[in-house]
Amino acid sequence: MREQRVRGGAGADDADTAGSGDVRLRLPSPDNIPRHVAIIMDGNGRWARERGLPRVAGHRSGMRTVRRIAMAAARIGVKVLTLYAFSTENWKRPKSEVDYLMKLPQEFLAIELEELIANNVRVRVMGSRQGLPGHTLAAVDEAVRRTADNTGLILNFALNYGSRAELVEAARELARRVKAGELDERAIDEQTIASCLSTADLPDPDLLIRTSGELRISNFMLWQLAYSELWFTDVYWPEFTERHFYDAICEYQRRVRRYGGL
């Protein structure tokens, strides 16, 4: 593994996560970087509550973590970073919190879009557009449009996303094709199903990271995670730094992926 010295720690712009002085950051080996890393960004509300802050303060701090981790992923050559930003189940939360979460894409992209463009990052979004406010859709659509020609890291936000709903839509599409005579039902295989998912043109995640100590995947990419390596940490998302991210990559590099073989 390589080492790089960084000034001010991984979260130098956030007093709650920043270190002081020089911090030695250990970078993973360049020989086995996962192509696709997926992250369930969890713990924003608990992070805020433990500090006597409103839950929205945790979401705002977590937004800054998104930028740091995206740049860390791009730095080591990760091709796709998928972030679980808002699930289909999150609509059950208090309206005030949901309204704030719907403003976050607009706020995040207003601040960070130019840096993402400068770093050749391509923004994508997967999930249902139904129910999303117009200002949310306008912000993400602009980011997708303005970064469409970028060739670096794909920063893929799962927004209003649920894997079971995704699989239902895939089944409906396959049924439609069979009914229309476009597809022989006997020809349906794993590749056919995968081609109907929102990740059809992306590799499956090699590594799933979940923060905050929860040990479940919460209706996230159920099909795509079939052979992903899983890495869990007790660290809340606002406190998750480049160091934690690279620790996860290094752990991934120590594992042997057999896909059912020997």
Catalytic residue numbers read 42, 90
- List the structure tokens of 232: 């869990």
What does the CA dihedral 219, 129, 146, 223 come to, rounded to 10 degrees?
30
Residue 118: exposed, middle, or buried by beta-carbon count in 10 A (0-12, 13-18, 19+)? exposed
SS3 label, residue 6: strand
The beta strand positions in the chain, using DSSP E, are: 2-7, 22-27, 36-40, 80-87, 122-126, 154-161, 207-210, 229-232
Q: What distance in Å separates the CA atoms of residue 50 and residue 94, rounded to the nearest whole number?
A: 19
* Closest to 204 (Cα-Cα) out of 254, 259, 152, 162: 259
Contact status, residue 237 vs residue 47, Cβ threshold 8 Å: yes
